[in-house]
Structure 1
Amino acid sequence: MISSLAVFALTIAGIIWRPRRLSEALTASLGAVAMIAVGGLSVGEAINALEINLNVLGFFLGLMIVAAIAESSGLFEAITEKAVVLSRGSGRRLLLIVFGIGVVITTLLSNDATALMLTPVVFLLVRRLRIDPLPYVFACAFIANAASFLLPVANPVNLLAVDAFHLRLGDYLAHLLLPSLAVIGVTVGVFLYLFRKEIPASFTLATLPTRAVSRNLDRHVILILALIAVGYIIFSFNGWPLSVPVLAGALALLAITSIRRIKLTQIFRSVSWSILPFVAGLAVLVQGLENSGVTQYIGELFTGLLNHGQLPGALATSIGTAAGSNLMNNWPMMMVSVTTLSGIPDAVAANPGLPYQAIIGAALGPNIAVLGSLSSMLWLLILRRRGLNVTAGSFLKLGLLVTPVALLCGSLVLYLLS
């Protein structure tokens, strides 16, 4: 267990701090090899972990291609430039609009889509406007997780609890709609206060180059994005592979670009291919942690916290899942929470809000540390590729100020509803 933990910790540290400027993908791949070398898992188990995660890899591949084509079509530039017009030169209003766009993308296309699609366009926009980018790019990362339990499909990790406890959409919304809105409101409010000095009172609209992006907007991109969102919802509720509608949409968009004689090489150059080995390496590392008994040990600690009454049990579920997510990523931690709660059906029957508390913890908790969710790590990679080196320490500092308040608020609202 110790050797597996050491490999995992050193790999994550290398991804975050990048010694000798090693790429994140190379660091994750080397960490996966090291996990096999120390006996955390065999080569066969590593291959099996990759096979299990083929759906995830396909999902990201399709999403990156869709994002690249949507960006080249001018869709997101049109949206953000419209946001600038609606902001009427107010930095505060622009930040609120970025939050709103993030909520919509996260709800319909997942938090990972917000990291991949919204972050680079917002960064490009604020750089053109010559204003401090940090409040706006941090907003992309934080709203991606804060809004990721508004619907079951807003975050793939939600589906672990939805499937395990057979949660219906009506019950899901009855439990989590108000807590989600409360969490979004708290997150936005705290952001506005913490960044009150960095957010410009006004900016000059003339600094944004005038381009006829909206007039050249490809309606086929909007249509296919809408179909992907619908397909994503349908496939999620039926337990089908989520990569299928995204990859189908990507192929459809590639076909359209070919017909219109747009150079596919330009599209493929804008795809962050390094994300695939990065995700694959993380999958092997997480499997090594599970094999070494780390997740089982955390599950035993978690079970002991649930036997102290309904309110302490509810808070232990949400806060415990959030804390574990920041230590080992929200995917394995959500598996631990689901397994633990499934083993105490009487407690869940007496307090039916517990699975929803776990969803809040796994979805929102990662807003403390970059390690917590894949969307946050993708966000970090995307910004680094574009020359903005946001440190893990600055993310952690902001996360500790924003997330505990939002988490407590959401958990208490859910407890009262339950």
Structure 2
Amino acid sequence: MIASLIVFFLTIAGIIWRPWRLSEALIASLGAAAMVAAGRLSAGDALNALENNLNVLGFFLGLMIVAAIAESAGLFETVTEKAVVLSRGSGRRLLLIVFGIGVVVTALLSNDATALMLTPVVFLLVRHLEVDPIPYVFACAFIANAASFLLPVANPVNLVAVDAFDLRLGDYLAHLLLPSMVVIAVTVGLFLYIFRREIQSVFSLGDFSMKVSSRKLDRPVVAVLILIALGYVVFSLNGWPLSVPVLIGALTLLGVFAGRKIRLSEISRSISWSILLFVAGLAVLVRGLEASGVTQSLGESFARLLGHGELPGALATSFGTAAGSNLMNNWPMMMVSVTTLSGAPDAVAANPGLPYQAILGAALGPNIAVMGSLSSMLWLLILRRRGLNVTAGSFLKLGLLVTPAALLCGSLVLYLLS
């Protein structure tokens, strides 16, 4: 168990700090190989982990294709430029609009879509405006997680609990819609206070108004994005793989744009293929933790916290899942939470909100440490590739200021609703 934890945390540390400027994908792959070489995981189990994550890999492949075509069509550039015009030169108003766009993208297309699609466009936009990019790019990362439990499809991690406890969409919304709105409001409010000096700037719109008035949203891209969002809802309700609608949407867009003589080589260069290797390496690392009994030990510790009353049990579930997500990523931690709650049917019967507390913790908790969720790590990778070196320490500092308060408010509201 100790060896598995050492390999896992050394790999995560390497991904965050990138010694000798090694790529994140290479470090994740080396970590996966080390997990097998150390005997913590057999080669067969590693291949099985990759096979079990084909849906996730297909999901990201399709999403990157859609993001590349949407970027090529200027969709997000148009949306963010319209946001600049709506801001009327106010940095504070622009930050609020970025949050609003992030909520919509996350709720309909997942938190990973916000990291992949919205972050690079917002960064390029604020750099063009010559304002401090930090509040705006951090807004993309934090709203991606804060809004990622509005709907089951807003975060693939949610589906672990949705499937395990057969949570219906109506019950899901009844429990989590209001807490989601509270969490978003607290996150936005704290951002406005923390970055009050940075967003006081007033910037010139320049030729934005004229440029935006002459630009229109690409209708085929918008139509396909709406269909993908609808596909997410239908497929999630039926327990079907979420990679299917996004891959179909990607192939549809490729077909539509092929008629416009789009250069496939250009789209290929826009796709971060190394992300697939990165995700695959992470999947093997997580399986190594499971095989070594790390997740089982965490689950046993977590189960003991549920026997101290309904409110303590609710807070233990949300904060315990959040803490575990920052230690070992929210995917394995959600599995630990679901396994623990499934083994405590009396506690769940007495407090039906516990599975939703686990969803809240796994979705919002990663706003503390960048390693907590894949969307946050993708966000970090994307910014680094564009020349903005955001440190894990700066993410942690901001996360500790914002997330505990948002998590407490959301958890208490959910407890009262339950």
Q: 1:248 to 1:214 in 2, by over 3 A?
A: farther
Displacement after TM superposition at 1:212 (Å): 5.9
Tell me, in whole angstroms, the C-alpha distance in 2 between the residues paired with 1:169 and 1:212. Answer: 38
Does residue 336 (structure 1) correspond to residue 328 (structure 2)? The answer is no
**Aligned equivalents of 1:360 and 1:188: distance in 2?**
17
CA distance in 2, matches of 1:83, 1:178: 26
Write the distance in 2 (CA, Å) between the matches of 1:134 and 1:209.
Answer: 24
Amino acid at match of 2:232: Y
2:391 is matched with: 391
Shift of 1:153: 0.9
Where structure 1 has 5 or more consecutive residues not aligned to the other structure, the ranges are none
What is aligned with 2:240? 240
Deviations 1:129-183, CA, capped at 9 Å, x for gaps: 0000000000000000000011111111111111111111111111111110000
Separation in 1 of the partners of 2:182 and 2:16? 31
Q: Is the Cα contact below 8 Å between 1:75 and 1:214 reproduced in 2?
A: no
CA distance in structure 2 between the aligned counterparts of 1:219 and 1:398, rounded to whole angstroms: 38
Contact 2:85 2:209 in 1 (8 A): no
Instruction: Report the secondary structure of 1:352's partner residue.
Output: coil
Partner SS for 1:313: helix
- Cα offset, 1:121, TM superposition: 0.4
Matched, 1:42 2:37: no
SS of equivalent to 1:347 = helix
CA contact (8 A) 2:111 2:154 kept: yes
- Name 1:137's counterpart in structure 2: 137
Residue 56 of structure 2 contacts residue 243 of structure 2 at CA under 8 Å; is this kept in 1? yes
CA distances 1:42-68 after superposition (whole Å, capped 9, x unpaired): 111111100000010000000000000
Give, in angstroms, the shift of residue 39 of structure 1.
Answer: 1.0
Partner of 2:120 in structure 1? 120
1:184 counterpart residue number = 184
Tell me the distance in 2 between the aligned counterparts of 1:351 and 1:275: 39
Aligned twin of 1:314 = 314
Find the residue that maps to 2:149 and give its secondary structure: coil
Supply the distance in 2 between the matched residues of 1:170 and 1:222 (Cα, whole angstroms): 27
Specify the code of the residue in structure 1 equivalent to 2:231.
Answer: G
Compare 320-329 and 197-206 and name the one that shifted more.
197-206
**How far is the alpha carbon of 1:200 from its aligned partner?**
3.1
Which amino acid in 1 is paired with 2:353? G
Residues 147, 180 of structure 1: 8 Å contact kept: yes
Distance 2:266 2:281 in 1: 27
Deviations 1:233-292 (A, max 9, x none): 111111111111101111111111211111111111111111000000000000000000
Partner amino acid, structure 2, of 1:114? T
2:63 maps to amino acid = L
Give 1:336 deviation, angstroms: 0.4
2:326 alignment partner in structure 1: 326
Residues 213, 270 of structure 1: alpha-carbon distance in 2 compared, 3 angstrom cutoff:
farther
Question: Paired residue for 2:359?
Answer: 359
Alpha carbons of structure 1 residues 214 and 220: separation in structure 2 relative to 1, 3 Å: farther
1:320-360 deviation line (CA, Å, top 9, x unaligned): 00000000000100000000000011110001111110010
Is it true that 1:58 corresponds to 2:45 in the alignment? no
Task: After TM superposition, give the deviation of residue 5 of structure 1 in Å.
Answer: 0.5
Letter of the structure 1 residue corresponding to residue 183 of structure 2: V
- Cross-structure match for 2:293: 293
Deviation at 1:211, TM superposition (A): 4.0
Partner of 2:2: 2
Over the matched positions of the two proteins, sequence identity in percent amounts to: 81
Aligned partners of 2:168 and 2:233: how far apart in 1? 13
SS in 2 for 1:156: coil
The structural deviation recorded for 1:202 is 1.2
Q: Distance in 1 between matches of 2:212 and 2:182?
A: 38
Tell me the amino acid that sits aligned with residue 27 of structure 1: I
Partner letter of residue 367 of structure 1?
N
Report the Cα distance in structure 2 between the residues aligned to 1:35 and 1:209, rounded to whole angstroms: 54
Name the CA distance, whole Å, in 2 between partners of 1:23 and 1:142: 24
Partner of 1:131: helix, strand, or coil? Answer: coil
Cα–Cα, structure 1 residues 58 and 216, in superposed 2: closer, same or farther, change >3 Å?
A: same
What SS does the corresponding residue of 2:199 show, helix, strand or coil? coil
Note the C-alpha offset of 1:201: 3.4
**Partner Cα separation in structure 1 for residue 121 and residue 104 of structure 2:** 15
SS of equivalent residue, structure 2 residue 198: coil
Count of residue pairs the alignment pairs up: 418
Q: Name the SS for the 1:215 alignment partner.
A: coil
Structure 2: distance between partners of 1:326 and 1:15: 14
Equivalent residue runs for 1:116-265 within 5 Å: 116-206=116-206, 211=211, 215=215, 217-265=217-265
Give the structure-2-normalised TM-score. 0.98
Amino acid at match of 1:80: T
| Cα separation, 2, equivalents of 1:177 and 1:395 | 26
Change (3 A) 1:19 1:295: same
- One-letter amino acid of the counterpart of residue 363, structure 2: A
Counterpart-to-counterpart distance in 2, 1:209 and 1:351: 53
RMSD between aligned residues: 1.2
Contact 1:8 1:285 in 2 (8 A): yes
Distance in 1 (CA, whole Å) between partners of 2:228 and 2:221 is: 10
